[in-house]
Chain A
Amino acid sequence: MHKKTMTTFWTLALGLLTAAGLSQTGTAHAQDEEIKIGFAMFLSGAAAGPFGVPARNGAELVVEALNKGEFPAPYDGKKGINGAKITTVFVDEASGEVVADYRKMVQKDEVDLVIGYISSGNCKAIAPVAEEVERLTLFFDCGTPQVFEDVVTDPHYLFRTGAHATLDSVGAARYLLADKPDTGSIAGINQNYAWGQDSWRDFTAAVEALKPGVEITTEQFPKIFAGQYGSEISALLTNPADAVHSSFWGGDLEAFVLQGAARGLFARTDVILTTGESAMHRLANQMPEGTVIGARGPHGVFAPEGPMKAWLEKAYMDRYGVRATYPTYKITQAILAAKSAIEMAAGDSMGMPDQESVIDALEGLEWETPSGTVRMGIANGHQAVQGTAYGRFKYSNGEATVVDMTRFDAECVMPPDGMDGLEWIESGFKGAEDC
């Protein structure tokens, strides 16, 4: 009996390992005329609906268009990336083993680069690993400024192709005080976790820097995914302020808009929703008119008119039957950064050039996107800077859109090189006094 237990033990254990080991020998080596991109985003869970799925759809759409050579100028020169067909691997950011999945994409799937990560926590976990496994990695969405300020201060393989969260709060504060210069009080309702806490801290610091003495009437921190905001809305109504700030997203955002609008909060005060754009088409006429909304950059309805935006909007609508939102724009921005840098580094050669030369090209890169020109401006050329825009929601002719839009230049909403976001805000926006 004992002997049999032992045999079974070994059959089970070794069988498993050999099965796993063998299966990986089956994967073909990346061919020269292919460039393989590993994508990581939420494909399940609460963040999949508002962020993960629009990003995944965007990635599929853009990769297919590039491969067919259908993407508009200036990206209509070479098919795919530098003439090589783009192939993709997707992993779910909600798997619970993000770091292991990342290593798997790099080492088993042998991707040429990774584009991904919506959650800031995941970005913090992946950042040092990217430097360790020495594979080109582009963060496309996560917001925490800590990635380059704190976690990896001397990045080489890691880039972020979208602006970080400082832009959202500073943009919101600038819009509010430009639009209503006599604002004397603010209030906030943010989810009680890193994103909500950081957003509110940056927003209040920015308002204080722009107009000292603005009073905070109340700050509400309901827990994330609470879904019911009755008592918080009561607190906001009984402590009236000139403007209410919220960085809510997803189902929480929709619940807050519906419950707040029903109780007249939106009619009584200005409400600023920093991620409002991601829900505007879904909420449509349920979003009160005049709500100040942002898109975490000049994305979606805030994107400048042009052939790239027109193509993206139409192709997305045709294929998925809904409007593209900012995660779609942000992933497009990341794919185009990779395409620009690889083609710049390749010169006359075909396919994927040496990784080091791509990194050289990416550092300080300036490239065109449906959201305008973006520049790898800070963190030694590894962190993108771009402007942003805020506007007021308007629903007309069955279309959700924005009016009273104000654009802000990158220098006005992002810290200069070598300065942390909060430090820059508290310094009174050093170098951006003219904004």
Chain B
Amino acid sequence: MNRRMDPTLVSLAAALPVLLVLGYALPDWLTFYLQVSLASGLAALAVMLQMRAGLVNFGQGLYYCLGAYAGGMSGHFLGITDALVLLLLAVVLSVAVSFIVGFLVARYREIFYAMLSLALSMILYGLLVRAEALGSTDGFNLPSTTFLGYAPEGQALREAGYVFTCIVALAIAAAVHRYLRSPLGAIGEAVRENELRVEYLGASPRYVVHLIYVMAAAIAGIGGVLAGISVGHVDPNLAYWTTSGQFVFIALLSGTGNVAAPLIGAFLLVMIRVYAVEYSPYTWQMILGGVMLLIIMFLPGGLWSLTRLRKKGGLT
């Protein structure tokens, strides 16, 4: 065996059979939470990708929603049900929109980047809420998904959706990991550290930010399609700022140390919420807020920074 195999890639590859076995072993409701958290985890991964370059996107819901609606509308109005085609359409739309918007957004940094992206996602929200043909705030339902001609029903459909979500999410995570390890990915972090030096090195920060913005959009768009397929319903709330805020929350909670972090963090957040609602249905937001506060105070690098503490040999 190749000794220099990347452990994260090995783990991601090994995670697939584990997730599939869990899909059968765990009760349905839990695999469903797992499935929807993989979808939102991808959007959080997109946020993390930008955070590595020092950019906080408070409007990632724009592309999450765009992807979900691209998939949803193709299914609802054009009768396209193949998951791969829906995925492709979502990516094409997200990339096209983000490429154009990117010319504007890539010029800004810090709070201006955050606010501009937030504003853009709220524009989409406003447009969708006004659109009576798209069901306005009620949104609309998606037809049953097919997979390369395979058209399961009932339980089989749920299982196929789960398997599909796992494969896509892990593949994307692996691709992002490879990118972050590449020289181009390293420039992203250099942009965060010192933009001026990046220019002296002969690279263009604006080009890098633009590229990261487009990549993040495509990933969030894929997350959106997966969310639409699993829930079977899309509505404008996907673009609302609270949805985007949740992605930032996940990225902060899990940390930017590894591509697996936001995927695990998304599931962790969902589980905290489920049990918070169960034990305290009226103040569950407070529990979530408390968790966030504790993380920021004691683990500013997110949950993933626990791995580094272990390496140092204890909490110091």
Q: Of B11, B154, B242, B270, which contacts A132 at CB under 8 A?
A: B154
Q: Would you call B102 an interface residue if the criterion is a C-beta within 8 Å of the partner chain's C-beta atoms?
A: no
- CB atoms of A193 and B137 under 8 A apart: yes
Contacts of A19 in B (CB 8 A): 271
Min C-beta distance of B11 to chain A, whole Å: 5
- CB atoms of B29 and A3 under 8 A apart: no
Q: Would you call A73 an interface residue if the criterion is a C-beta within 8 Å of the partner chain's C-beta atoms?
A: no
Q: Would you call B33 an interface residue if the criterion is a C-beta within 8 Å of the partner chain's C-beta atoms?
A: yes
Contacts of B268 in A (CB 8 A): 16
Q: Would you call A322 an interface residue if the criterion is a C-beta within 8 Å of the partner chain's C-beta atoms?
A: no
A-binding segment of B104-112, B281-289, B290-298: B281-289
Q: Of A14, A104, A192, A197, which contacts B29 at CB under 8 A?
A: A104
Contacts of A104 in B (CB 8 A): 29, 33, 274
Chain B interface size, as a band, is 35 or more
Q: Would you call A29 an interface residue if the criterion is a C-beta within 8 Å of the partner chain's C-beta atoms?
A: no
Bound-state CA distance A107–B27 (Å) is 8
Contacts of B282 in A (CB 8 A): 43-44
- CB atoms of B32 and A103 under 8 A apart: yes
The number of inter-chain residue pairs (CB within 8 angstroms) is 149
Given that A24-B30, A103-B29 are known contacts, is A194 also in contact with B136, CB under 8 Å in the complex?
A: yes
Q: Would you call B15 an interface residue if the criterion is a C-beta within 8 Å of the partner chain's C-beta atoms?
A: yes
Q: Would you call B181 an interface residue if the criterion is a C-beta within 8 Å of the partner chain's C-beta atoms?
A: no
Q: Would you call A87 an interface residue if the criterion is a C-beta within 8 Å of the partner chain's C-beta atoms?
A: no
Bound-state CA distance A207–B213 (Å) is 51
Which residue in chain B gives the minimum CB-CB distance to A9? B11
Min C-beta distance of A91 to chain B, whole Å: 6
- CB atoms of B281 and A92 under 8 A apart: yes
Contacts of B275 in A (CB 8 A): 23
Min C-beta distance of A29 to chain B, whole Å: 13
Bound-state CA distance A9–B7 (Å) is 10
Contacts of B7 in A (CB 8 A): 2-3, 5-6, 9
A-B contact pairs, 7 of them (CB 8 A): A16-B264, A17-B22, A20-B271, A104-B29, A120-B138, A121-B237, A125-B235
Beyond A5-B7, A103-B32, 17 additional contacts (C-beta under 8 Å) are A2-B6, A9-B258, A9-B260, A12-B306, A13-B264, A97-B273, A99-B231, A99-B233, A101-B274, A104-B29, A121-B137, A121-B233, A124-B138, A129-B232, A195-B137, A223-B126, A224-B129
A-B pairs, top 9 by smallest CB distance, nearest first, are A125-B233, A194-B136, A107-B29, A193-B137, A121-B138, A2-B7, A194-B138, A8-B307, A6-B7
CB within 8 Å of B: which residues of A?
Answer: 1-6, 8-10, 12-14, 16-17, 19-21, 23-24, 43-44, 89-92, 95-97, 99-101, 103-104, 106-108, 119-121, 124-125, 127-129, 132, 144, 146, 151, 192-195, 197, 223-224
